[in-house]
Structure 1
Amino acid sequence: MNNPLSNMQVRDLQSVLHPYTNLHKIKETGSLVISEGKGVEVFDAHGRGYIEGMSGLWCAGLGFGDTEMVEAAKEQLDRLPYYHLFTGRTTEPAVELAEKLKEIAPVPVSHVFYTSSGSEANDTQVKLAWYYNNALGRPDKKKIISRVKAYHGVTVMAASLTGLPYNHMDFDLPVDRVLHTDCPHHYRFGKPGESEEEFLAGLVASLEAMIEREGPETIAAFIAEPVMGAGGVIVPPKGYFEAIRPILRQHDILMIADEVITGFCRTGNWFGSTTLNVEPDTLSVAKQLTSAYAPLGAVMVPRHMMDALESQSEKLGTFGHGYTYGGHPLGCALGVKA
């Protein structure tokens, strides 16, 4: 027999809608109420400790209760608890973090656009790719290629880029202009007796066939996690990104690296793009950007895209995109400290 639910578990069921949860079954089991965290452990309402081996959701890389992070948060909250970056405003933490991201980026970066999450960052990537191609007079170059078993978030567009069934079923997703090419998982999808090299050749051929079938003049970008996270921690075959890069460049297709999970030393380097030799045009980051001490995400934009964004915003009168909490000074201050 299950133990009776605590008062907090009952209140939770009455008020909180939980993500990625069986909403019927949880009524029987109740939620695990986490009350405290210290180092690599979290503690429930009864004081039981658990090793948080996944860093929350791949995000609390510095652990819980880090005193330097807590002090940085207090200092920023005392000085400036909120401000925005709209209409030419800025804050010192937003500038300092952007400079730091440019310094450690795996490829040359011109500017940083802030969001509140990885989902928003990848959503923004699509809007930037569309805006960029409109600026270049290519109104048909709008399709985005993702991959089966990819995970890029849960906004309407980010969930469409995601290649997992639960993110699509009964949400009427994916939307138009999103394509999914093969998952680069040799162990799971390789044919019997097929070597990794042969499997890689098949992946490349499949991608080329998709581009030719759809028309390269209609493909704006290819988005990929250096290592696929939620899809199963899938490392692509050796030479994967080196093999597809010439195809993308031949057809002027942007390479977007989703570093939301792999960024900030998850693969042994600052970015998974370095470890896997991705050489992207743009990058999305979030999660360990602040070690999850505050929500923050970002898109890192190269000079050639920034030139197009600048000219188009002059033509239209503004760059009509942004988030209320994008570049929040608390998040940026914590990002600098992290």
Structure 2
Amino acid sequence: MTVQPNSIEARDAAYQLHSYTNARKMEAEGSLIIEEGDGVYVTDNTGKKYIEGMSGLWSVAVGFGEDRLVKAAAEQMAKLPYYHTFAQRGHTPAVELSEKLIQMAPVPMSKVYFTNSGSEANDTVVKLLWYRSNALGKPEKKKIISRIKGYHGITVASGSLTGLPYNHMSFDLPIPQVLHAGCPHYGGFAQEGESEADFVARLARELDEMILEEGPDTIAAFIGEPVMGAGGVIVPPEGYWKAIQDVLKKYDILLVADEVICGFGRTGKMFGSETMGIEPDIMVMSKQLSSSYIPFSAVMMNDRVYQPIADETARIGTFGHGFTGSGHPVGAAVSLENLKIIEERDLVGNAARLSPLFMERLNAMAGHDLAKEARGIGLIGALELHQQGEAAGVAGAAMSAACLERGLIVRNLGDTVALCPPMIITEAQVKEMFDIYAAALDSLSF
């Protein structure tokens, strides 16, 4: 498209550096300006309406324009617009939200620490793990094992945990304390003739070998998403998480479940850990926690993690970590109301009930000439397309553009085109979304 002088698109290109964007391309073409949102739909500044098939960034569980969240924010803003949680200070919304999250946890948890984004939360997890190891008198126990294609954020520490090339290139990442184990994508990484069971056994064996090679006493934790999101919507094979947890228990290594995308119903249960049979020591939550109406995130830890940390704060005299916005009262109030909506409207149940239709429509496209593989669970899925030519991502970008032209916003992750609609979506809207998606796919020619 051509950017008109002095248009909002031109001003955007003139003054902003955008995330996950080719800056030179944006200077030439401008950006899509979204002005309004209502339910599963958003509208751009020309009046064109789209199904937001990605819930923004995997995150707007209750849809756009939810009056109850607007009201919760306004009421809290009027009552106490800001306060901190430093130096034994607190406020009611953060207290009530931490209590609610502990009650909702799929396994026994002890404490909640609030941050402002999934990236900040995972960055905090790295520091907590290092702090804990020092508290236990194990200063060598600092390495964290993540996975190839995992996504855990973009700070120096969380970006290192992420296992995607674009998040490392030219940033001098990852840092030395982070290792990356194999990706649980059977369709992408299985060896010739290898069954799913054999693939799972090999990944567990390779993890065991990595731990032994590095030294079990140097490994603090293993981190993983129950279902990978930004790596291409990768649902691990049956038995994968049990096999991984058996290895971790063997060497007394903590398990961190990154629930930033999976948490609060996306996989058809409240947490992805429940869907996948994971018993984490630490859980990281954001996105659907507040439906991204306001930046907010949380780290939840069990007593095994918390007690050594608490002892170390007593020895030093303080916990020398915190953000100005940690436990922000408006964010906490909005998150509390958001969780009430998810429960009252049974949005987790809605995801579970609509999942068979969602997966049926997605799987129906797996036989398309351009399709390589369909993957998904709950209300998150993706179609991976065959690479076109030397450069990866050509097919995915073309599919994303074809969907946008027809009124559907998706996200192409290379040649994988993801869908993750708001959990309020109806059966009719799921059909509408996939009708557009299928038409876009049929329109492609290379």
TM norm structure 2: 0.75
- The structural deviation recorded for 1:274 is 0.4
| Separation of aligned partners in 2, 1:102 and 1:5 | 52
Alignment deviations for residues 198-222 of structure 1 (CA, whole Å, 9 cap, x no partner): 1111101110010000000000000
Alignment deviations for residues 86-135 of structure 1 (CA, whole Å, 9 cap, x no partner): 00000100000001101111111111000000001101111111111111
In structure 2, the gaps of 5 or more residues are 339-446
- Which has the higher mean CA deviation after the structures are superposed, 239-248 or 228-237? 239-248
- The structural deviation recorded for 1:6 is 5.7
- The structural deviation recorded for 1:4 is 3.1
| Separation of aligned partners in 2, 1:276 and 1:127 | 26
3-state SS of 1:87 partner: coil
Alignment deviations for residues 39-91 of structure 1 (CA, whole Å, 9 cap, x no partner): 11111111111110110001111111101111111110110110000000001
Corresponding residue for residue 10 of structure 2: 10
Alignment deviations for residues 127-182 of structure 1 (CA, whole Å, 9 cap, x no partner): 11111111111110000000000000000000100000000000000011100010
Corresponding residue for residue 227 of structure 1: 227
Corresponding residue for residue 52 of structure 2: 52
Corresponding residue for residue 279 of structure 1: 279
| Separation of aligned partners in 1, 2:84 and 2:3 | 47
* Contact in 1 for aligned 2:14/2:27 (Cα 8 Å): no
Rate the CA distance shift 1:241–1:5 in 2: closer, same or farther, 3 A: farther
| Separation of aligned partners in 1, 2:34 and 2:303 | 44
* Contact in 1 for aligned 2:3/2:9 (Cα 8 Å): no
| Matched residue count | 338
Corresponding residue for residue 151 of structure 1: 151
Question: Is the counterpart of residue 331 in structure 1 residue 331 in structure 2?
Answer: yes
Corresponding residue for residue 88 of structure 2: 88
Q: Which amino acid aligns with 1:302?
A: N
Paired residues for 1:14-53 under 5 Å = 14-53=14-53
Corresponding residue for residue 121 of structure 1: 121
| Separation of aligned partners in 1, 2:198 and 2:5 | 54
Corresponding residue for residue 239 of structure 1: 239
Corresponding residue for residue 189 of structure 1: 189
Alignment deviations for residues 275-328 of structure 1 (CA, whole Å, 9 cap, x no partner): 000111110000010011110000001112211111100100101111110100
| Separation of aligned partners in 2, 1:231 and 1:247 | 23
Corresponding residue for residue 177 of structure 1: 177
Q: Which amino acid aligns with 1:117?
A: S
In structure 1, the gaps of 5 or more residues are none
Corresponding residue for residue 202 of structure 1: 202
| Separation of aligned partners in 2, 1:328 and 1:6 | 37
Corresponding residue for residue 160 of structure 2: 160
- Which has the higher mean CA deviation after the structures are superposed, 245-254 or 210-219? 245-254
* Contact in 2 for aligned 1:5/1:30 (Cα 8 Å): no
| Separation of aligned partners in 1, 2:185 and 2:201 | 13
Higher-RCO chain (CA-CA 8 Å, sequence separation at least 6) = 1
**% identical aligned pairs:** 56
- The structural deviation recorded for 1:2 is 3.5
Corresponding residue for residue 308 of structure 1: 308
3-state SS of 1:220 partner: strand
- The structural deviation recorded for 1:3 is 6.1
- The structural deviation recorded for 1:9 is 1.1
3-state SS of 1:233 partner: coil
Alignment deviations for residues 228-255 of structure 1 (CA, whole Å, 9 cap, x no partner): 0000100111011111112111211110
Question: Is the counterpart of residue 131 in structure 1 residue 102 in structure 2?
Answer: no
| Separation of aligned partners in 1, 2:245 and 2:132 | 20
TM norm structure 1: 0.98
| Separation of aligned partners in 2, 1:64 and 1:53 | 12
Corresponding residue for residue 419 of structure 2: none
Q: Which runs of 4+ in 1 moved over 4 A?
A: none
- Which has the higher mean CA deviation after the structures are superposed, 166-175 or 26-35? 26-35
Corresponding residue for residue 410 of structure 2: none
| Separation of aligned partners in 2, 1:242 and 1:234 | 17
| Separation of aligned partners in 2, 1:161 and 1:208 | 19
Corresponding residue for residue 142 of structure 1: 142
* Contact in 1 for aligned 2:281/2:304 (Cα 8 Å): no
- The structural deviation recorded for 1:5 is 5.4
